[in-house]
Amino acid sequence: MQRLQDRVAVITGAGSGIGLATARRFAEEGAKVVCVDLDEPSGAKAADEVGGLFVKADVTSEDDVVRMYQTAFDAYGSVDIAFNNAGISPPDDDSILETGLDAWRRVQEVNLTSVYLCCKHVIPYMRHQGKGSIINTASFVAVMGSATSQISYTASKGGVLAMSRELGVQFAREGIRVNALCPGPVNTPLLQELFAKDPERAQRRLVHIPVGRFAEATEIAAAVAFLASDDASFITGAEFLVDGGISGA
Ligand code: NAI
């Protein structure tokens, strides 16, 4: 399927997990992919594999965010799709009673402020083109909260969801769609890191997933490709759950 033929897509966190799977899927569907990551070896490898460009950038830096879209535009002449996906897991004890202000601020910075910066600096390109699709990675916890203490993470993802809704509504008439992707637990390094610290957490999570397993990153990438494509032309401002039924259970 070539739904994304010649569309220019910028993916943050493209070196691993959901971002990497999406870079592969976008390339399969014909897109020109710009892989952004803080981690140079993995980001460069991803770009090489999909025949795209690598931009080493820290999504918490406004200068870096400006530069990554400028690089994409200079190379390919447009920025059609922004998958604002880079993120970090919660700090070790992320209960409201234990999380320190520095840890809280760090999570907001990487998971939420980065999405603000990416939207702020990609929308002018899309406005000029009169079209564009932005997909911001939130999480199922943005919709339903989490019984495992991860208050800074949940709050950051709630912010991503709210921001996506507002931008989706605000820019709909300019042809720019903005959606919040809300994955359930996905088998990626981020999740494996959490479970390595607390092995019982995996079992606690698993019992709440109606399909009885964690998602593979390729299953999330399929949903992102749909949202990025014209097949989703009437979808904007949505909380797009890809969660194995977890939010309905
Ligand atoms: P991952 O850890 O496999 O990949 C994240 C990538 O983001 C890494 O390559 C990392 O180097 C990059 N990154 C981190 N900080 C960065 C920064 N400041 N600037 C640029 N790049 C940076 O994680 P995964 O699981 O693929 O997660 C992707 C997104 O999906 C995150 O926003 C995460 O919160 C979200 N998510 C993940 C779920 C899961 O169960 N894995 C569930 C729901 C949401």
- The minimum-distance atom of ligand 1 relative to the CA of 186 is 40
Query: What is the ipTM metric for this complex?
Result: 0.99
Q: pLDDT tens across 156-204, in order?
A: 999 999 999 999 999 999 999 999 999 999 999 988 988 888 888 888 8
Beta strands in 96-175 (DSSP E): 132-137
Q: How far is the CA of 27 from the centre of ligand 1 (A)?
A: 20
Handedness of CA 186, 189, 191, 192 (dihedral sign): positive
In the predicted model, is pLDDT for residue 141 greater than 70? yes
- The minimum-distance atom of ligand 1 relative to the CA of 110 is 18
In the predicted model, is pLDDT for residue 134 greater than 90? yes
Assign domain 8-242 to a CATH class: alpha beta
Beta strands in the chain (DSSP E): 8-12, 32-37, 53-56, 81-84, 132-137, 176-183, 239-242
> How many Å apart are CA 76 and CA 73, to the nearest integer?
5
pLDDT score recorded for residue 177: 98
pLDDT score recorded for residue 1: 66
The chain-wide mean pLDDT, for the chain, equals 96
Domain coordinates of the chain in residue numbers? 8-242
> How many Å apart are CA 187 and CA 29, to the nearest integer?
23
Average pLDDT, integer, range 5-18: 98
What dihedral angle (degrees, nearest 10) is formed by the CA atoms of 90, 92, 97, 99?
-60
> Contact 134/122 with Cβ under 8 angstroms?
yes
Flag the least confident range among 47-51, 89-93, 163-167: 89-93
In this prediction the pTM is: 0.98
Percent of the chain clearing pLDDT 70 (strictly above): 100
> Contact 127/174 with Cβ under 8 angstroms?
yes
In the predicted model, is pLDDT for residue 220 greater than 80? yes
Which burial class, exposed, middle or buried, applies to 222 when counting CB atoms under 10 A from its CB (0-12, 13-18, 19+)? middle
Average pLDDT, integer, range 100-110: 97
Within 6 A (CB) of ligand 1 lie 12-13, 15-19, 37-39, 42, 57-60, 85-88, 110, 137, 139, 183, 185-186, 188-191
In the predicted model, is pLDDT for residue 210 greater than 80? yes
> Greater confidence, 176 or 146?
176
> How many Å apart are CA 249 and CA 246, to the nearest integer?
5
Percent of the chain clearing pLDDT 90 (strictly above): 88
Both tokens of 164, joined, read 């996506």
pLDDT score recorded for residue 197: 83
